[in-house]
Amino acid sequence: MKSSPKATSGTLHHGKKDLVADWERLFKVFIRPEEDACRETLIKYMEQILFGLNDFLKKHVGITESASLKDLASRFAGTVINDEPVTKLSDVITCLINDLAPHAVNVASPYFVGHMTSAIPFFMVHLKTIVSALNQNVVKLETSKVVSILEKQVIAKIHRMVYAKSDAFYLEHVQNTDSSLGVFTEGGTTANLTALWVARNSAFPPKAEFVGIEADGLSAAFRAHDIDQCVILVSRLGHYSLKKAAGILGLGNNAVVPIDTDADFRIDITALKKAISGIREKSPKIHIMAVVGIAGATETGTVDPLAEMADICKTYGIHFHVDAAWGGPTLLSAKNRHLLSGIENADSVTIDGHKQFYMPMSCGMVYFNDPRHLDVIAYYSHYVNRRGSVDLGIKSLSGSREANSLILDGALKIMGKKGYSLLIDHGIETAALFAAEIEKRPDFQLVTRPVLNILTYRYCPEHLQKQLAAASSDERKKINKRINGANLNLQRLQREAGKSFVSRTTLRADHGHEDDIVVLRCVIMNPMTTISILGDILDEQEEIAKKRLPVCGL
């Protein structure tokens, strides 16, 4: 890699001698370089990565129009793997920085407020690099050793953040090979899947000849327990991964029954109780397998009344899962942790690392109130994960897995509760300021008031707001349809302009009415996103609306 003439990227055979495709060079690629010159080169590459990308990260958000997508697609159409090496590491890095990064999305921009992906602290990149250089596989002790032990400790720390059990409880379970306080997953989707997998298996325990649903299958389980159908109740704001999980688990995604929300977009407790008693009255053959509470709905950031839900689930003996993929880390903030009150009574809780723990993509986790609950999904094998071993892969959806726990552990040490609180509190406070700003502007309507750091609103000129208020049901539908179209275009035009990015979704948000309305959605998690930047975003939207939306009939 060192001191070679600059290879012209794309020229297949240029500089071949410098490249990897002979045994001696291959060796050098694997053996960590000893010579000073080589070490310097490697460090230079890292400098390029850390600061070359930095230049890109300072630019605008860069999700541009579909025309450029087609153009890009045509540039990535070759499908033959090159025989010889085509590029050196330095060329690959240069190419990534100069050609690829400018067409990636600058999720770190403070103007990128559309999704749950944001700037991450720079030290996260260092921690991820360490994980990669160690390349431990936490599926088993033999390929991770101390890292598996560290993982158990981090899991206990987060479990304690959620469940706040006694010192004695944690002393007993933190390093107990029989206990599993939680498990790392690829993300929130597989965390929710794991929780519902555990709930499913717990709902159909062995009975006479039937050895359990995991071994004998769902059909046999239904027969053995005299059940026809299994349902999961969640507010209509439940994440789509819950339906996916029900589909995968064989329950069918129709098993996920959406419950209406109240005026604050929390699950309507009366509706939930009615649904439960309705199902129970309808047939003893329908089993309510789980109720899912949301702590930070993906679309609105709202939090369900977890304490009440937990009480209801306790009464009826239903597994209570909380999807806190988004909101979980709020528990680190002394000021705001009350927003998730009741979460400590959940049977299982999903929390994402790559969301408000600000870890790099991708890391999910799921926690269990009962340290033996994960036993119902245990798998063993002859060559790893043997009975009685410490191997973390025994009770896990994943097989081989990277040591994300090491990143979370480092981050907790570097940030402390206080560091994370600053982030969490900033998001919540800024979202409240932003809501006030939206309400001040006559041509915008706040649709969902932020509880955490997510809110939705729409562009709706003052005169149309008045018309809507006085309209008949049919008229209202027509007006909302026009406003929906306008907001859809507004979001697209702003995205294509490339300076700012808010996302959009569709909510049944017009209370008392059946209208679906298109809303603009903001997720405020970047500490550099100030109220002044959010004001800029609204200004731009007003300008786009005035200049370009008349065509949409507004």
Residues 301-360 that bind a copy of itself (CB under 8 A): 332, 352, 354, 360
According to the binding rule CB under 8 A, does residue 527 interact with a copy of itself? Answer: yes
Q: What tokens appear for 546 in the block?
A: 């005035």
What character string, x for contact with a copy of itself (CB under 8 A) and - otherwise, covers 362-401?
A: x--------------x-xxxxxxx----x------xxxxx
Which of residues 11, 89, 539, 550 is near a copy of itself by CB under 8 A? Answer: 89
**Tokens 């997953």 — which residue?**
185
Closer Cβ to a copy of itself, 170 or 444, answer by number: 170
For the stretch 427-463, what's the b/e string if a residue is b when 16 or more beta carbons lie within 10 angstroms of its beta carbon? bbbbbbbbbebbeebebbbbbbbbbbbbbbbbbbbee
Q: At 526, give phi and psi (nearest 5°).
A: -85, 120
Closer Cβ to a copy of itself, 189 or 336, answer by number: 189
Cα–Cα distances in angstroms (integers) from residue 245 to residues 165, 242, 290, 367, in the given order = 29, 5, 12, 17
CB of 193 to a copy of itself, least distance (A): 8
According to the binding rule CB under 8 A, does residue 189 interact with a copy of itself? Answer: yes
Could you say which residues in the range 45-74 bind a copy of itself, by CB under 8 A? 45-47, 49-51, 53-54, 57-58, 62-64, 69, 72-74
Q: Return the range that interacts with a copy of itself (CB under 8 A); candidates 42-50, 274-282, 427-435, 462-470.
A: 42-50
Question: Please, is 113 exposed, middle or buried when counting C-beta atoms within 10 Å of its C-beta (0-12, 13-18, 19+)?
Answer: buried
According to the binding rule CB under 8 A, does residue 214 interact with a copy of itself? Answer: yes
According to the binding rule CB under 8 A, does residue 427 interact with a copy of itself? Answer: no
CB of 347 to a copy of itself, least distance (A): 19
Could you say which residues in the range 94-113 bind a copy of itself, by CB under 8 A? 96, 100-101, 103-105, 107-108
CB of 213 to a copy of itself, least distance (A): 7
Amino acid at 313: C
Which of residues 60, 225, 337, 417 is near a copy of itself by CB under 8 A? Answer: 417
Contact 365, 353 (CB under 8 A): yes
CB of 389 to a copy of itself, least distance (A): 10
Nearest residue to 431 via CA among 363, 359, 336:
336
According to the binding rule CB under 8 A, does residue 31 interact with a copy of itself? Answer: yes
According to the binding rule CB under 8 A, does residue 88 interact with a copy of itself? Answer: yes
Closer Cβ to a copy of itself, 415 or 443, answer by number: 415
Nearest residue to 247 via CA among 218, 288, 227, 276:
218
What character string, x for contact with a copy of itself (CB under 8 A) and - otherwise, covers 217-246?
A: xxxx-x-----xxx---------xx-xx-x
Closer Cβ to a copy of itself, 202 or 461, answer by number: 202
CB of 543 to a copy of itself, least distance (A): 22
According to the binding rule CB under 8 A, does residue 122 interact with a copy of itself? Answer: yes
Closer Cβ to a copy of itself, 128 or 266, answer by number: 128
* Ramachandran bin of 36, using left for φ above 0, alpha for ψ from -120 to 50, beta for the remaining angles: alpha
According to the binding rule CB under 8 A, does residue 140 interact with a copy of itself? Answer: yes
According to the binding rule CB under 8 A, does residue 92 interact with a copy of itself? Answer: yes
Nearest residue to 469 via CA among 510, 507, 435, 509:
510
Query: Strand 256-259's sheet: what is its strand order?
Result: 182-185, 364-368, 348-352, 319-323, 286-294, 229-235, 256-259
Closer Cβ to a copy of itself, 436 or 528, answer by number: 528
Element housing 192 (H / E):
helix 188-203
Which of residues 60, 115, 273, 441 is near a copy of itself by CB under 8 A? Answer: 115
Give CA–CA dist 516/481, Å, rounded: 9
Give CA–CA dist 459/226, Å, rounded: 52
According to the binding rule CB under 8 A, does residue 215 interact with a copy of itself? Answer: yes
According to the binding rule CB under 8 A, does residue 415 interact with a copy of itself? Answer: yes
Q: At 360, give phi and psi (nearest 5°).
A: -65, 155
Which three-class secondary structure state does DSSP give residue 174?
Answer: coil
Contact 334, 343 (CB under 8 A): no
Quote the DSSP letter at residue 283.
Answer: -
Could you say which residues in the range 148-167 bind a copy of itself, by CB under 8 A? 149-150, 152-153, 156-161
CB of 271 to a copy of itself, least distance (A): 21
Could you say which residues in the range 469-508 bind a copy of itself, by CB under 8 A? 495, 501, 503-507
Closer Cβ to a copy of itself, 404 or 461, answer by number: 404
> How wide is the angle at C-alpha 285 spanned by C-alphas 347 and 254, nearest 5°?
70
Binding residues for a copy of itself, rule CB under 8 A, total 182
